Amino acid sequence: MHRKIPALLVALGVSIAPCFTLPVLADSVVETIDTTAQIENATKEADKIEDQAKKLEEKVEKRVHKERLEDCKEINVLKVRDEKTIVPEDGPSVYPVLLKGLPDRPTVAVVLGGGGLRGTAHIGVLRELERNNIPIDMVVGTSIGSIIGGLYCAGTSPDKLESESPKRLIRAYYTSPLFFKVLLLPLKLLTFRNMTGMYKSNSMMRALNTFVPTSKLEISEYKPKFAAMSVDLLRGVPVAITDGNLGEALAASAAVPFLKRPIFTERGLMVDGGILRNIPVSPAKAMGAEFIIAVDINDNIKPMTKKHFQRKFGSITSRLVRLAQHDMESIELKQADVVIRPELSGIGMLSKKIKDSDRAVRAGEVATDNVMDDIKAKYKAACVPYQKGASQKLVQEQN
């Protein structure tokens, strides 16, 4: 009898266990069902919010597109190819004439080339030209050349450009560290984000507009005359921007591919002018310049070792771009009367060091001073035909 008691208890326990475990299991199942329902409801709500966001985005896009079409009809330079594509038809003149001949001397243009932070050398060049009373009737710039040139033509002195601009320009161009932007590239690729450029150009445009008073934002009113070189991707042509908002023109001229996103304006889809006209001498001539001083801030092509391409990220692409630019620059520079070449070795295009900026300014001054006698001699020679013409006219008037 005593031996049967344990077995009986085991049997009793097995029979009673479901009475305790079933309610627990039931509660667990109910909780699981509730959690699943909550997840499903949350998912549905998220889908609804996403749909509403998409509808709102589409609505905004349609409204912006409609406004763009209305603007296009007013300015009569664009046409609609389909519902979503706007392309330039003829567009504004690629190189509008800015300067008319003067009676007593040739019109003078200073052409400022592109090259990143190295371009602060242009500040030193402009300062030395002013010190030596070299007349400047027009400034034509590309990328950093257009930024320095545009601010100068808007009335910013070289001294103020040197003391205030470098830090602000760096902040305006790099709104966040480049290192972080590179780290985010894989994530953007996975999420199919817009990868036409790592930085938005609109933020740079707004920042550049703060450099001058609001009354100085219309570039067609500048003296000296000013032109920012850019490239329209839709037509595949270089474009000289000579009117409109200063910030937009400068941002379009400095929208370096893959680094800055293109800017869509009434002129087209605009990117950095350095692609086709990094030192825009021929555009300056087309716009009326008769005596041209060009500033080349890029290094000459030098041999490189194999190790350079093995260790440095992006070195092959950089080399290819520089080779292509060098050939185009050579053609442009042959048309200039004087070429100024500051010594800028060791200063990278993407440098953000203020000491590099300061050294570039000094290099611009030294290089300009070194060729000042040549500038004055050639300019004096260029003035001779005008003086002869004035003398002949005076004789005719006296007779």
Pick the closest to residue 118 from 367, 371, 310 (CA basis): 367
How confident is the model over 338-394, as pLDDT tens digits?
999 999 998 888 788 889 999 999 999 999 999 999 999 999 999 998 876 555 554
Pick the closest to residue 81 from 69, 99, 71 (CA basis): 69
Cis peptide leading into residue 213 (ω within 30°): no
Report yes or no on whether pTM surpasses 0.85.
no
Give the pLDDT confidence score for residue 199 in this predicted structure: 61
Bigger pLDDT: 221 vs 80: 221
| Bridge partner list, 141 | 112, 228
Could you say which DSSP state residue 116 is in?
G
- Residue 193, pLDDT > 80, answer no
Strand bridging mode 225-232 / 268-272: antiparallel
How confident is the model over 23-71, as pLDDT tens digits?
444 455 445 555 666 666 766 776 776 677 666 656 655 554 454 444 4
How confident is the model over 139-169, as pLDDT tens digits?
999 999 999 999 999 999 999 999 887 777 7
Helix intervals (H) in 199-349: 201-209, 246-253, 281-286, 306-311, 315-333
Encoded amino acid at 216, one letter: K
How confident is the model over 216-258, as pLDDT tens digits?
999 999 999 999 999 999 889 999 999 999 999 999 999 888 7
Distance, CA of 240 to CA of 228 (rounded, Å): 6
Pick the closest to residue 126 from 168, 167, 160 (CA basis): 160
| Bridge partner list, 109 | 138, 292
Distance, CA of 327 to CA of 325 (rounded, Å): 6
Percent of the chain with pLDDT over 70: 65
